[in-house]
Amino acid sequence: MNAQPQIFGTYLFDGAAAQRGYALNKMCYSFNSAANREAFLAGEEGYMRAYGLNEAQAQAIRARDVLGLLHAGGNVYYLAKFAGILKLDVQDLGAAQTGVSKDEFKARLVAQNNQPDHL
């Protein structure tokens, strides 16, 4: 068995996270439907209560706090649907999580072209 790496700034969405984040992720999964997205925007607090979010999850939703949502058990595939409601794309999310502006985040991505071609 190979040793498993500890990876900086990386959250593996495992069974513990899947249990912790179930209500939050279920709410975000509901945002596949346009009607549900509208219902959320029409009354965020009531919508969160209907899905049974805990206080940490609700607070992270209120604050649009991406890292807080991850810590509260959010899975990025579902959180992306919440971000969609806010008209945010994954580069907005990346900038928010890494503490840089969106333009800086995009520039960082382009700069990855300078990596070597060979391992």
Partner 1 sequence: MARILGALTTSHVPAIGGALARGAQDEPYWKPFFDGFKPVRAWLDEVKPDVAVVFYNDHGLNFFLDKLPTFAVGAAKQYVNEDEGWGIPSLPPIPGIPELSWAIIERLVASDFDVTTCQEMLVDHAFTLPLKLFWPETFQTIVTVPVCINTVQFPLPSAKRCIALGREIGEAVAAWNSDKKVVMVGSGGLSHQLEGERAGFINKPFDLAFMRSLIDDPEWAAQYTIPQLVEKTGTQGVELLMWLAARAAVPGAVREVHRNYHIPISNTAAGTMAMAAKDLIATE
Rounded distance between C-alpha atoms, residue 1 and residue 4, angstroms: 9
Q: How far is the CB of 94 from partner 1 (least distance, A)?
A: 4
Residue closer to partner 1 by CB (options 58, 69) is 69
Q: How far is the CB of 31 from partner 1 (least distance, A)?
A: 5
Residue closer to partner 1 by CB (options 4, 55) is 4
Residue closer to partner 1 by CB (options 62, 108) is 108
Is the separation of the CB atoms in 28 and 81 below 8 Å? yes
CB contact burial 58-97 (16+ within 10 A = b; e otherwise): bebbeeeebbbbbbbbbbbebbebbbeeeebeeebbbbbe
Tell me how crowded residue 54 is: count the other CB atoms within 10 A of its CB. Answer: 14
**Site of interaction with partner 1 (CB under 8 A):** 2, 4-5, 7-15, 18, 22, 25-26, 28-29, 31-34, 37, 66-67, 70, 75-81, 84-85, 89-91, 93-94, 97-98, 105-106, 108-110, 112-113, 115-119
Residue closer to partner 1 by CB (options 47, 78) is 78
- What angle is formed at CA 6 by the lines to CA 105 and CA 27, rounded to 5 degrees? 65
